[in-house]
Structure 1
Amino acid sequence: MAKGIIVKALSGFYYVLEDGNELANGELVQCRARGIFKKKGLSPLVGDRVEFERTENGEGTVTEVSPRSSELIRPPIANMRIALLAFSVVEPDLNQQLLDKFLVHIEHAGLTPVICFTKLDLLESAADAQLSEAVSSAASLYRSIGYEMFETSSKFKQGLEPIAARLAGELTVIAGQSGVGKSSLLNALIPGIDLETNAISMKLGRGKHTTRHVELLPLGGGGWVADTPGFSQLDFAEIEAEQLGGCFPEFVPLSEQCKFRGCLHLHEPSCEVRAAAERGGVAASRYEHYLQFLQIIRDRPRRY
């Protein structure tokens, strides 16, 4: 039985790179999944380690999926260790509420979040002091929380070496809303792949989707990065109200001092998280976004 990793999934087919082969030289084996997976409610995902058997026509059948170390539902991908969250500083403007939403989902999934602000060249050419200050303040905020921060310009190859070094040897998924420059960033990090890019729609303030499937791409320094379809909305279907605070790292040590176990940091007496927010020990934007997300979770239909 052959073993390998799924590097692309498209139209019901899974493209597997067999162990011992390199993507540049080895052929991908086009596979279908055994019907047993559907009965079990399990779908193979990009990033899965699998066993497969070749068929007479040179294709293959995935027969076994190894246990996963991590799993994301949107984008659908498995076994990633790092989530590179790409957010543009302009066109579209930096959206911290959406960034915090991504961070919550990545924290909940157990991946290591790495934030990358893109399109620095557009910020510099805009010569907007107020906008520059807002971006600088946001970068400082996330660094103070403990998140790794990178700032890049794909156009001028600025800030690429540090981020390439950080991703070397890792399994990384790159995510962010459409139009923020994910494909441009990957084109700059992996010369020769020439992913399609599209300009921002100035009328809509967002980009068109240029990536239509999830695919692992080999990094020059070793490791893989997954290009994913752009999207701008995430729900909280997998997160319970009691889990949300744990997805805000700066809340965790404070919550241990709350009077009540399971405190939602809403109206409870002697809540240290709320007290810290009131005295400026927790950023107002982060606490406000926490309350917004908590309301969404509490308002969703109950599952039975």
Structure 2
Amino acid sequence: MNRTPRPQEIPARVIESFGRRVRIEMPDGTRCAAELFGRRLSVVCGDEVRVRPSSRGDAPRVVAVAPRRTLFARTDSRGRTEPLAANLSLLAVIVAPQPTPDPFVADRYLAGAAYAGIEAAVVASKTDLPDAATPPFVELLAEYEQAGYTVLRTSATTGAGIDALRGLLDGQLAMLVGQSGVGKSSLTNLLAPESGRLTRTLSDATGEGRHTTVSTALFKVPSGGELIDSPGVRDYAPALVDDATVQQGWKEMVGLAPQCRFHNCLHLREPGCAVRAAVESGDIAARRYESYKRLLNIMRDLAPEYERRRP
């Protein structure tokens, strides 16, 4: 917010965003719709802003955005950064036995959190389903635990693990992310009853989730903390980073990288690589290593696309 606030402007926070439509919360707890002042102004859920009340009784106008402590974002198909939420302190990546999990999407969410300086955890939902006990899902959760992430096992149906999840969220501004259909809205309804998020069953035709959440919105958790629920996705790529930074999204690599022979090792074919040695010994999951290489290639592919389209 590189401007001097005017006397008639008051602080507020964005609690819901859908395109250029937003809802804000005033310091006294009042919530209302607001308009963005000017085409260049861009806000996301969690942003701290200044608003100017309307003298005609219309919706107040958001006129400025405060500097963000953190910004969680993604890269679109043209290599452009798209902000998703501001000032997060925790990203909770939801995985479920149904629909069939895409661990590479979950890995990229975890990496995106690391690049933004946001703590991350993995939350397994729908653990009451029989598929939750199958080797692929059990092994997936074990991989994340091996990598050093907090992993919670929950069920919105039975209530298992919900108290532990509340404890994780206490004192945090957290965002729930994951594939469509993993149960984010069901968990949100349990954690923040005010949300009233719609929930639906998986598509009978595809077995994939439908997008039941259409806007990104912030809710208070009565037991402590706040959470942001966002629309589910079928894919996600973090904001663009360079080759050397990609590995920072893999916790298990960060501690080993200093042991590599070369300080700029990318853990691909370089001799004396401590990370590849850990993969061969089983100390780093082979699937996680392959996921790292995939993201490295994605970042390399998107960077030229961005450069070509940049004004």
Return the TM-score normalized by structure 1: 0.89
- Mapped to 1, the partners of 2:167 and 2:303 lie a distance apart of 44
Question: Take 1:7 and 1:82, find their aligned partners in 2: how far apart are those partners?
Answer: 16
Structure 2 matches for 1:100-179, cutoff 5 A? Answer: 100-123=107-130, 131=134, 133-179=135-181
The aligned counterpart of 1:206 is 208
Q: CA deviation at 1:156?
A: 1.3
Match of 2:70? 70
Counterpart of 2:78? none
Per-residue deviation at 1:301? 5.1
The match for 1:278 is 280
Q: Determine the C-alpha separation between the residues in 2 that align with 1:297 and 1:46.
A: 26
Seen in structure 2, the aligned counterparts of structure 1 residues 48 and 105 have a Cα distance that, compared at 3 Å, is: same
- Counterpart contact for 1:169–1:221, Cα < 8 Å: no
Secondary structure class of the residue paired with 1:121: coil
- Report if the CA contact (8 A) 1:82-1:170 is conserved: yes
Other-structure match for 1:232? 234
Write the deviation string for residues 166-222 of structure 1: whole angstroms up to 9, x where unpaired: 112210111001001000111122235331111112431211101111110111023
* 1:33 counterpart = 2:23: no
Q: Give me the whole-angstrom Cα distance separating, in 1, the residues matched to 2:137 and 2:152.
A: 12
1:15 aligns with 2:23: yes
Q: How many angstroms does 1:139 deviate by?
A: 2.1
Mapped to 2, the partners of 1:13 and 1:240 lie a distance apart of 33
Task: Kindly provide the amino acid, as one letter, of the partner of residue 292 in structure 1.
Answer: R
Q: Structure 1 CA distance, aligned partners of 2:154 and 2:287?
A: 24
Question: C-alpha distance in 1, partners of 2:171/2:299?
Answer: 36
Per mean C-alpha deviation after superposition, the further-off stretch among 56-65 and 176-185 is 56-65
Letter in 2 for 1:43: S
> 1:84 offset after TM fit, Å?
0.9
Structure 1 stretch displaced more, 190-199 or 201-210:
190-199
- Distance 1:202-1:241 versus aligned 2 partners, 3 A rule: farther
3-state SS, counterpart of residue 31 of structure 1:
strand
1:262 to 264, 276, 285: 264
Q: CA deviation at 1:260?
A: 1.6
Greater mean deviation of Cα atoms: 46-55 or 288-297: 288-297
Q: How many residues align?
A: 289
What amino acid does structure 2 have at the position aligned with 1:72?
A: F
State the distance in 2 between where 1:192 and 1:34 align: 29
Query: In the TM superposition, what is the alpha-carbon distance from 1:11 to its structure 2 partner?
Result: 4.9
Q: Unaligned stretches of 5+ in structure 2?
A: 1-8, 75-82
Letter in 1 for 2:237: D
Distance 1:280 1:11 in 2: 45
| C-alpha displacement of 1:134 | 3.0
Sort the Cα spacing of 1:295 and 1:150 in 2 relative to 1 into closer, same or farther, 3 A.
same
Assess if the C-alpha contact under 8 Å between 1:265 and 1:271 holds in 2. Answer: yes
How far 1:9 sits from its partner (Å)? 1.7
Tell me if 1:49 matches 2:48: yes
Q: Which moved more, 1:199-208 or 1:211-220?
A: 199-208
By relative contact order (CA 8 Å, sep 6+), the higher-ranking structure is 2
1:7-51, Cα deviation, whole Å (9 max, x unpaired): 012352321111132xxxx3x23222221x60xxx4111101111
Amino acid in the other structure paired with 2:156: S
Is contact 2:91-2:120 (8 Å) kept? yes
Q: Secondary structure at the match of 2:182?
A: coil
Q: Quote the RMSD (CA, aligned, Å).
A: 1.9
Amino acid at match of 1:200: L
Q: Give the aligned residue type for 1:44.
A: V
Identity of aligned residues (%): 30
Match for residue 222 of structure 2 among 220, 236, 247: 220
Deviation of 1:102 (Å): 1.5
